[in-house]
């Protein structure tokens, strides 16, 4: 790829970004789009629609940038919880790393690379016509002593990243403890989920749970809720919920418009009839289930957090597959459909999901290979000879090589997070947060494999497998292939990175949705607005992948760094803005996403080292490649140390903390009232008796209240 192609791509994307920013600045002030751009504020009721029109509304203003800048960590923590803070810390972590690496890269490595003559001499008269390869390490002459500069850079950046990782891990684990200390008593802190309760013929599961915990935890056991199979009721309730919405909307519409059309009236009657049917059905099912056999799982609550922790961490029964305990999720975080399954079911579904992920990875290679074809114009011309004429035009060829490949890849990658989330949701996790965390992990490895490795080692799956299964020659192959793809990844940062973050600000899909709704003439209802939650399983993998790209490429093609810095600056501002205006947290893991960030960074470092070994070997500087060897070993040892030093706190709260918190709550006298809530906190929402809607003007009809799940 030439510099000019990169500039074209840069031009297109900068324009797009500016366009998005401007549109956002204007649209966010239009009351009609409040639901799209400030749903959080609407849901909180802190922003009312202004009826009057002001001229200022049409002038784009950067005020939101300043507000995002001023947001403090405490604000994020109090309004969006620790997970959002961790997300922001991951962004600032990358910013710090790439600012540091950027200085080294641009002011030291880039001049060294372009002074080389291995590939081309740099053509200062026509910069735009230079190949981007001139700025990569490939251009440094073989065996040149200047490669020691790269060597030093690898060491420096590794040490910097490791140091930063350590302080961040320390900071976030201390925040986690502090956050726990400052939290009010919450049901999930006192509760565990017990599954695979051994069935007994003479007593029910409920009695069996009661007996077991009264026997073994007499001082701390409080209550339990046996879980029932309620999928049927849940489906009915969901149907009722949708119908209810339609009925109220129709009615509201007919009341407002006063154009009561006969057919609408008929519809309304039909809906209400159907609703009443469902209500009967649900009642029947509920009484049916209360009679029938329970599942073999229960939420068991304890009087103290420490009591719950003891029951959680000690193997309860002689057979380790009975009375399996795990942390209970917060009541609103519970993912009801799957957690009644047995150990074997969950284990099998886990295995099946692994296989499915592997298959998905293989299938996904097809678009990646097509994308690769685009960067290689001559191959494309060979495949589709009729394109020859079009492709020979400079502008077209620049778009095709510089822009199209990343765009196609991006479109395909868009569908990955929902798929991963779906796969995680059928894997047997019992909470939304676990599902998102698992989808996040899957997303990261999928992206690394399918974007990084598949692009670098384009070829058949078996070829790729053969490379990875042959660790001896891996560094050498990385050394050959990775620098060759530098220009693709620079373009990738500009297109996928910049555009995705700008479209995040602009919220393209909700915006389009709202436009369509407007066209269809549906009325908005501010009371109804629910603030969406951030999709960590979409944003974490994407951001971390750019981190990986930056670390892997910083010494090969330092030109990637400024673009990455711009990307992370945008991410920084935009997500802070979104945390203020758009997202509200749906669950709280207490910072459990951080270990994933840490692991990805460690992997990126080791990947960089492997590439460095390969490159130095290829460049005939074998001493340097030998001296790089200790680096991955030290990095992995460092990681091992961090796992021992910090990870346990993310797995469970230490006894000291639990006991202190328990005592503090007792001393404040919060507990007796809390126990009352605790006992009913984990009732299955499907089993809550259906109630008449409290909406006074629907008293004439027994309506179902929408049960929030």
Token pair for 305 = 């957090």
Token pair for 506 = 């602009």
Q: Which is nearer to a copy of itself, 172 or 561 (CB)?
A: 172
For residue 315, state whether it binds a copy of itself (rule: CB under 8 A): yes
Token pair for 503 = 């479209």
Pairing mode, strands 221-226 and 191-195: unpaired
Residue 315, CA distances (Å) to 211, 214, 323, 329, 509 in order: 17, 16, 8, 20, 48
Q: Which is nearer to a copy of itself, 203 or 390 (CB)?
A: 203
d(CA 598, CA 608): 15
Q: State the sign of the Cα–Cα–Cα–Cα dihedral 35, 39, 45, 51.
A: negative
Cα 470 to chain centroid, rounded:
32
Other Cβ atoms closer than 10 A to 131: 17
Candidates 496, 621, 504, 492; CA nearest to 552 is 492
Q: Which stretch binds a copy of itself (CB under 8 A): 133-141, 186-194, 548-556, 639-647?
A: 639-647
For residue 215, state whether it binds a copy of itself (rule: CB under 8 A): yes
Contacting a copy of itself (CB under 8 A), which of 657, 681, 686, 703?
Answer: 657
Least Cβ distance, residue 221 to a copy of itself (angstroms): 13
Q: Which is nearer to a copy of itself, 192 or 686 (CB)?
A: 192
Cα 422 to chain centroid, rounded:
13
For residue 216, state whether it binds a copy of itself (rule: CB under 8 A): yes
Q: Which stretch binds a copy of itself (CB under 8 A): 57-65, 522-530, 576-584, 637-645?
A: 637-645
d(CA 595, CA 169): 8
Strand order in the sheet with 221-226: 221-226, 298-302, 191-195, 324-327
Token pair for 325 = 């305990």
Contact 60, 26 (CB under 8 A): yes
Candidates 84, 33, 34, 68; CA nearest to 580 is 68
For residue 314, state whether it binds a copy of itself (rule: CB under 8 A): yes
Q: Which is nearer to a copy of itself, 464 or 487 (CB)?
A: 464
For residue 645, state whether it binds a copy of itself (rule: CB under 8 A): yes
Provide the mask over 368-407, with x wherever binding to a copy of itself is found by CB under 8 A and - wherever it is not. ----------------------------------------
Q: Which stretch binds a copy of itself (CB under 8 A): 31-39, 196-204, 238-246, 305-313?
A: 305-313
Least Cβ distance, residue 318 to a copy of itself (angstroms): 5
| Look-up of token digits 């976030």 | 172
What CA dihedral angle connects 626, 630, 631 and 637, to 10 degrees? 160
d(CA 280, CA 283): 5
Q: Which is nearer to a copy of itself, 67 or 322 (CB)?
A: 322
Which letter does DSSP use for residue 2 in this model?
Answer: B
For residue 310, state whether it binds a copy of itself (rule: CB under 8 A): yes
Least Cβ distance, residue 654 to a copy of itself (angstroms): 4
The residues in 448-467 that bind a copy of itself, with binding defined as CB under 8 A, are 466
For residue 630, state whether it binds a copy of itself (rule: CB under 8 A): no
Candidates 116, 158, 175; CA nearest to 646 is 175
Contacting a copy of itself (CB under 8 A), which of 261, 351, 358, 415?
Answer: 351
Least Cβ distance, residue 254 to a copy of itself (angstroms): 60
Give CA angle at 499 (493, 505), nearest 5°. 130
For residue 177, state whether it binds a copy of itself (rule: CB under 8 A): yes
Candidates 151, 223, 233, 164; CA nearest to 194 is 223
For residue 652, state whether it binds a copy of itself (rule: CB under 8 A): yes
For residue 355, state whether it binds a copy of itself (rule: CB under 8 A): no
Q: Which is nearer to a copy of itself, 512 or 652 (CB)?
A: 652
Provide the mask over 567-606, with x wherever binding to a copy of itself is found by CB under 8 A and - wherever it is not. ----------------------------------------
For residue 656, state whether it binds a copy of itself (rule: CB under 8 A): yes
Q: Which is nearer to a copy of itself, 167 or 242 (CB)?
A: 167
Contacting a copy of itself (CB under 8 A), which of 158, 286, 316, 589?
Answer: 316
Q: Which is nearer to a copy of itself, 309 or 501 (CB)?
A: 309
Buried b (16+ CB within 10 A) or exposed e, 533-560: bbbbbbbbbbbbbbbbbbbbbbbbbbbb
Contacting a copy of itself (CB under 8 A), which of 313, 388, 518, 620?
Answer: 313
Residue 35, CA distances (Å) to 67, 325, 513 in order: 20, 42, 11
Q: Which stretch binds a copy of itself (CB under 8 A): 294-302, 311-319, 417-425, 439-447?
A: 311-319
Least Cβ distance, residue 215 to a copy of itself (angstroms): 8
What CA dihedral angle connects 692, 694, 698 and 704, to 10 degrees? -30
For residue 679, state whether it binds a copy of itself (rule: CB under 8 A): no
Q: Which is nearer to a copy of itself, 216 or 397 (CB)?
A: 216
The CB-side HSE value for 264 (13 A sphere, CA atoms) comes to 15
How many chain residues are in contact with a copy of itself, going by CB under 8 A?
A: 37
Contacting a copy of itself (CB under 8 A), which of 125, 201, 262, 318?
Answer: 318
Q: Which is nearer to a copy of itself, 78 or 473 (CB)?
A: 473
Helix ranges, 217-258 (H): 231-257
d(CA 164, CA 604): 14
d(CA 228, CA 298): 9
Q: Which is nearer to a copy of itself, 103 or 637 (CB)?
A: 637
Token pair for 353 = 């999901």
Least Cβ distance, residue 344 to a copy of itself (angstroms): 9
Q: Which is nearer to a copy of itself, 252 or 637 (CB)?
A: 637
For residue 470, state whether it binds a copy of itself (rule: CB under 8 A): yes
Phi, psi of 162 (to 5 degrees): -65, -45
Residue 503, CA distances (Å) to 507, 508, 562, 563 in order: 6, 6, 21, 17
For residue 321, state whether it binds a copy of itself (rule: CB under 8 A): yes
For residue 646, state whether it binds a copy of itself (rule: CB under 8 A): yes
Least Cβ distance, residue 621 to a copy of itself (angstroms): 22
Token pair for 385 = 């000879």
For residue 469, state whether it binds a copy of itself (rule: CB under 8 A): yes
Contacting a copy of itself (CB under 8 A), which of 451, 649, 678, 704?
Answer: 649
Q: Which stretch binds a copy of itself (CB under 8 A): 220-228, 380-388, 479-487, 653-661?
A: 653-661
For residue 687, state whether it binds a copy of itself (rule: CB under 8 A): no
For residue 637, state whether it binds a copy of itself (rule: CB under 8 A): yes
Size of the chain, expressed as the number of residues it contains? 709
Interface with a copy of itself by CB under 8 A: which residues? 177, 215-216, 309-311, 313-321, 343, 347, 351, 466, 469-472, 637, 641, 644-649, 652, 654-657, 659
């Amino acid at each position: 790829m030439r510099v000019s192609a990169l500039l074209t791509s840069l031009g297109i994307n900068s324009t797009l970004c500016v366009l998005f920013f401007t549109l956002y600045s204007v649209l966010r002030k239009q009351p009609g789009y409040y639901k799209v751009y400030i749903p959080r504020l609407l849901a909180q009721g802190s922003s009312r629609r202004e009826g009057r029109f002001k001229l200022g509304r049409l002038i784009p203003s950067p005020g939101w940038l300043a507000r995002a800048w001023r947001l403090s960590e405490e604000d994020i923590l109090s309004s969006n919880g620790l997970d959002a803070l961790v997300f922001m810390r991951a962004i600032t972590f990358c910013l710090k790393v790439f600012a540091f690496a950027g200085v080294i890269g641009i002011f030291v490595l880039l001049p060294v690379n372009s002074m080389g003559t291995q590939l081309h001499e740099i053509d200062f008269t026509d910069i735009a016509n230079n190949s981007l390869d001139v700025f990569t390490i490939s251009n440094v002459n073989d065996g040149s002593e200047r490669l020691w500069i790269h060597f030093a850079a690898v060491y420096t950046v590794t040490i910097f990243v490791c140091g930063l990782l350590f302080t961040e891990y320390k900071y976030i684990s201390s925040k986690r403890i502090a956050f726990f200390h400052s939290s009010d008593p919450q049901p999930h802190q006192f509760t565990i989920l017990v599954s695979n309760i051994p069935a007994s013929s003479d007593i029910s599961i409920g009695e069996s749970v009661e007996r077991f915990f009264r026997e073994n935890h007499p001082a701390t056991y409080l209550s339990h809720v046996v879980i029932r199979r309620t999928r049927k009721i849940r489906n009915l309730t969901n149907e009722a919920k949708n119908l209810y919405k339609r009925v109220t909307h129709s009615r509201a519409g007919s009341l407002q418009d006063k154009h009561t059309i006969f057919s609408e009236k008929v519809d309304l009657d039909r809906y209400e009839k159907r609703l009443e049917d469902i209500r009967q059905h649900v009642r029947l099912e509920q009484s049916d289930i209360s009679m029938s056999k329970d599942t073999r799982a229960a939420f068991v609550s304890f009087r103290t957090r420490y009591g719950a922790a003891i029951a959680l961490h000690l193997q309860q029964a002689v057979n380790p597959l009975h009375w399996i305990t795990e942390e209970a999720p917060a009541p609103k975080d519970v993912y009801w459909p799957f957690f009644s399954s047995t150990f074997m079911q969950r284990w099998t579904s886990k295995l099946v999901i692994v296989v499915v992920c592997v298959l998905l990875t293989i299938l996904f290679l097809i678009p990646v290979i097509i994308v690769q074809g685009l960067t290689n114009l001559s191959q494309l011309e060979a495949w589709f000879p009729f394109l020859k004429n079009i492709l020979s035009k400079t502008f077209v060829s620049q778009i095709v090589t510089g822009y199209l490949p990343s765009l196609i890849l991006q479109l395909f990658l868009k569908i990955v997070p929902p798929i991963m989330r779906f796969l995680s949701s059928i894997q047997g996790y019992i909470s939304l947060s676990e599902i998102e965390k698992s989808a996040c992990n899957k997303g990261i490895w999928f992206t690394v494999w399918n974007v990084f490795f598949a692009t670098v080692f384009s070829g058949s799956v078996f070829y790729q497998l053969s490379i990875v299964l042959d660790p001896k020659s891996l560094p050498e192959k990385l050394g050959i292939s990775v620098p060759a793809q530098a220009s693709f990844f620079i373009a990738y940062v500009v297109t996928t990175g910049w555009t995705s973050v700008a479209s995040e600000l602009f919220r393209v899909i909700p915006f389009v949705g709202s436009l369509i709704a407007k066209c269809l003439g549906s009325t908005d209802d501010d009371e109804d607005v629910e603030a969406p939650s951030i999709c960590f399983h979409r944003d974490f993998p994407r951001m971390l992948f750019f981190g990986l790209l930056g670390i892997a490429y910083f010494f090969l093609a330092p030109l990637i760094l400024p673009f990455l810095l711009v990307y992370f600056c945008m991410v920084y501002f935009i997500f802070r803005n979104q945390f203020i205006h758009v997202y509200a947290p749906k669950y709280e893991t207490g910072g459990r996403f951080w270990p994933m960030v840490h692991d990805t960074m460690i992997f990126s470092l080791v990947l960089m080292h492997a590439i460095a070994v390969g490159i130095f070997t290829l460049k005939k500087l074998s001493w340097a490649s030998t001296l790089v060897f200790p680096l991955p070993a030290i990095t992995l040892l460092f990681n091992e140390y961090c796992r021992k030093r910090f990870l346990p706190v993310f797995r469970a709260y230490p006894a000291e903390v639990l006991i202190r918190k328990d005592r503090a709550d007792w001393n404040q006298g919060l507990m007796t009232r809390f126990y009352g809530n605790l006992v009913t906190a984990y009732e299955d929402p499907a089993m809550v008796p259906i109630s008449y809607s409290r909406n006074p003007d629907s008293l004439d009809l027994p309506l179902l209240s929408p049960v929030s799940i």
